[in-house]
């Protein structure tokens, strides 16, 4: 007999840094998911990724309190900020894009860097080939105020 699906949830957790503190612990605990089991499994699956890279994770949990997870690649904005060399600013010490995208440019990336990002994100993008994926990444760059040269 198959497991009975109780629901799904989405979390964005830094790679290799899942711990039972908020926001991860309370989100999992109120759904009856074993928090430490999730943290150990997530950290084991993301150990080969760059530490601290935000990983969108889709967690499917079942009525018998078991779960499965699908870890996606970090967002395109993370890769673009890294490629552009944007420095962390603000309260949370994170790099930011332009305040007025389209009117101001905060950094620039090369077409080769865009191709590299597109190849890394290819499995999570809705594109048939690398050129289509590159167009998606260029659109993200423009919306952040990053120029593609």
Tell me the Cα Rg of the chain: 18
Quick one: pLDDT at residue 101?
74
Task: For the chain, give the mean pLDDT.
Answer: 82
> Which of 52, 71, 90 is the last residue in one of the domains?
71
The answer on 110 and 50 residing in a single domain is no
> Which of 71, 97, 113 is the last residue in one of the domains?
71
pTM of the model: 0.77
Quick one: pLDDT at residue 130?
85
The answer on 144 and 82 residing in a single domain is yes
What range defines the domain where residue 39 resides?
A: 5-71
**Region of poorest pLDDT, from 34-48, 75-89, 121-135:** 75-89
The answer on 104 and 59 residing in a single domain is no
The answer on 83 and 55 residing in a single domain is no
Helix, strand, coil shares of the chain, percent, nearest 5, are: 35, 25, 40
Instruction: Show the CA angle centred on residue 82, arms to residues 148 and 113, nearest 5°.
Output: 40
Instruction: Show the CA angle centred on residue 37, arms to residues 67 and 66, nearest 5°.
Output: 25
| Percent of the chain residues past pLDDT 70, beyond the cut | 93
Quick one: pLDDT at residue 93?
62
In the predicted model, what is the mean pLDDT of residues 6-34?
Answer: 83
In the predicted model, what is the mean pLDDT of residues 7-30?
Answer: 83
At 50-104, the pLDDT tens digits run 888 888 989 888 888 888 888 888 888 888 888 877 776 655 666 777 777 777 7
Q: Domain count of the chain?
A: 2
Q: For residues 42 and 69, is the Cβ–Cβ distance under 8 A?
A: yes
The answer on 141 and 81 residing in a single domain is yes
Look up the CATH number of the domain holding residue 55.
Answer: 3.30.1550.10
User: Is the pLDDT higher at 107 or at 62?
Assistant: 62
Look up the CATH number of the domain holding residue 121.
Answer: 1.10.10.250
At 129-146, the pLDDT tens digits run 888 888 888 888 888 888
């Amino acid at each position: 007999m198959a497991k009975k699906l109780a629901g799904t949830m989405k979390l964005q957790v830094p790679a290799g840094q899942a711990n039972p503190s908020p926001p991860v612990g309370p989100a999992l605990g109120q759904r009856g998911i074993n928090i430490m089991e999730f943290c150990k499994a997530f950290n084991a699956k993301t150990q080969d990724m760059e530490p601290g890279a935000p990983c969108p994770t889709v967690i499917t949990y079942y009525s018998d309190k078991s779960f499965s997870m699908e870890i996606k690649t970090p967002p395109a904005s993370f890769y673009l900020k890294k490629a552009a060399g944007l420095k962390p600013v603000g309260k949370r010490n994170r790099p930011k894009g332009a305040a007025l995208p389209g009117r101001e440019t905060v950094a620039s990336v090369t077409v080769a860097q865009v191709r590299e990002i597109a190849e890394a994100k290819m499995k999570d993008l809705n594109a048939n080939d690398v050129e289509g994926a590159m167009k998606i990444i260029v659109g993200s760059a423009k919306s952040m105020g990053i120029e593609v040269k």
